[in-house]
């Protein structure tokens, strides 16, 4: 029996939901996968599953997250071990979830927050700007997702410091594939979970170089991993976003931008703003005023929505409004052969 609330009502070992049939699954060379645990999630709020959950993906080729047909697959390293989660909207307002691996119980418990159940917009006023009001009206199911996995979010954010997204995503794909762990279950393609916190510390220097990550970023990840467990505990016990910032920016190589990106993905922080981003201030300024601006100008524009500034940024992204390109796309250099 299911309920109409956002609670996950039950789990079962019965293989009624076979997500591999919903996409172009390939034969897995490993032994037959264990039967998954399964459940249904019925959110109390409208939910755009793809737009909400796929913001956690780091590029189209992210080995921890992929889409096959109507199924979203996510591989993660939970506090209870590795897990693979498959999500599919079977009916409007009904999300079917299946999970494999030692961390499958934790992964299923996390489904509501991954789908935005902890997100609240009770004090959000979209009417303060016509573009925001229109984007909010057209995207009622856009929720702010959270994974609860602080160190994975932190490491991924460090990868994206001061490089193009293409470079960061490629380095993330290589390191996770080489140094992570093969995800359990009948995934449609080989998927991998990130390394353990201890594993991040012991990635050899040649692997970082071959992956294309610069020394400042690789050193920042390794240094953070040495205090990884303490960082995770401190972040999860921090009273608010400012408290999280104090924890994270006290670490070498981690600044406000990296802290904000970690808050967005791991905690679903509705007020986090990635100050220092190469494009963000320009995009926010253009969307809200028709002119690009700098970080200070962006913060002034977002001030009327204090507490909900990340929601405004997400709605701007969903609106489709983009600043026209002013120059050719940057062609990043590849330093791996040096």
Residue 335, pLDDT score: 55
Sign of CA dihedral 168, 169, 170, 173: positive
Q: What is the mean pLDDT of the chain?
A: 90
Confidence of residue 163 (pLDDT cuts 50, 70, 90): confident
Residue 297, pLDDT score: 98
Residue 277, pLDDT score: 94
Q: Which residues are within 8 A (CB) of 18 and not within 5 positions of it... i.e. 6 or more apart?
A: none
**For range 68-92, the mean pLDDT:** 96
Question: Taking 90 as the threshold, does the pLDDT of residue 337 lie above it?
Answer: no
Kindly tell me the burial class for residue 124, based on how many C-beta atoms sit within 10 Å of its own C-beta (0-12, 13-18, 19 or more): middle
Question: Taking 60 as the threshold, does the pLDDT of residue 18 lie above it?
Answer: no
Residue 320, pLDDT score: 92
Selected from 3.30.70, 3.30.310, 1.10.1060, 1.10.30, the CATH number assigned to the domain covering 33-127 reads 3.30.310
Question: Taking 90 as the threshold, does the pLDDT of residue 162 lie above it?
Answer: no
**For range 85-100, the mean pLDDT:** 95
Confidence of residue 224 (pLDDT cuts 50, 70, 90): very high
Confidence of residue 24 (pLDDT cuts 50, 70, 90): very low
Question: Taking 70 as the threshold, does the pLDDT of residue 287 lie above it?
Answer: yes
**For range 100-105, the mean pLDDT:** 97
The values of phi and psi at residue 201, to 5°, are -65, -25
Residue 6, pLDDT score: 44
Q: Among candidates 275, 227, 269, which has minimal Cα distance to 248? A: 227
Give the span between the Cα atoms of 37 and 278, in whole angstroms.
42
CB 148 within 8 A of CB 113: yes
Residue 34, pLDDT score: 77
Question: Taking 70 as the threshold, does the pLDDT of residue 83 lie above it?
Answer: yes
CB 65 within 8 A of CB 74: yes
Residue 165, pLDDT score: 87
Give the span between the Cα atoms of 83 and 11, in whole angstroms.
16
Residue 333, pLDDT score: 59
Residue 37, pLDDT score: 96
Question: Taking 80 as the threshold, does the pLDDT of residue 328 lie above it?
Answer: no
Distances in Å between the alpha carbon of 233 and those of 89, 132, 228? 33, 36, 9
Residue burial 186-222, b: 16+ Cβ < 10 Å; e: rest: bbbeebbbbbbbeebeebeeeebbebbbbeebbbbbb
């Amino acid at each position: 029996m299911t309920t109409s609330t956002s609670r996950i009502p039950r789990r079962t070992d019965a293989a009624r939901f076979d997500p591999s049939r919903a996409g172009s699954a390939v034969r897995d060379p490993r032994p037959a996968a264990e039967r998954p645990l399964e459940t249904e999630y019925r959110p109390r709020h409208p939910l755009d599953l793809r737009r909400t959950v796929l913001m956690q993906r780091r590029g189209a080729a992210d080995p921890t997250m992929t889409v096959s047909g109507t199924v979203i697959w996510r591989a993660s390293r939970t506090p209870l071990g590795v897990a693979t989660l498959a999500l599919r909207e079977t009916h409007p307002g009904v999300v079917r979830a299946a999970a494999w691996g030692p961390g499958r119980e934790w992964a299923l418990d996390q489904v509501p927050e991954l789908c935005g159940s902890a997100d609240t917009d009770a004090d959000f006023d979209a009417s303060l700007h016509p573009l925001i009001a229109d984007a909010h009206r057209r995207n009622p199911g856009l929720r702010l997702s959270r994974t609860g996995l602080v160190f994975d979010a932190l490491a991924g954010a460090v990868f994206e410091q001061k490089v193009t997204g293409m470079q960061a995503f490629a380095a993330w794909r290589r390191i996770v594939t080489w140094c992570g762990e093969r995800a359990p279950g009948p995934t449609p393609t080989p998927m991998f979970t990130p390394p353990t916190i201890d594993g991040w510390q012991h990635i050899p220097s040649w692997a970082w170089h071959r992956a294309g990550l610069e020394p400042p970023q690789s050193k920042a990840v390794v240094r953070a991993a040495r205090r990884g467990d303490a960082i995770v505990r401190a972040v999860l016990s921090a009273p608010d976003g400012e408290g999280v910032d104090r924890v994270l920016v006290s670490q070498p190589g981690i600044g406000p931008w990296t802290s904000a990106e970690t808050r967005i993905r791991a905690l679903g922080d509705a007020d986090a703003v990635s100050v220092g981003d190469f494009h963000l201030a320009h995009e926010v300024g253009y969307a809200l005023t028709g002119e690009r601006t700098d970080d200070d100008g962006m913060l002034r524009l977002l001030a009327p929505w204090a507490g909900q500034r990340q929601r405004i940024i997400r709605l701007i992204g969903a609106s489709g409004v983009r600043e026209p390109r002013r120059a050719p796309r940057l062609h990043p250099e590849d330093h791996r052969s040096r």
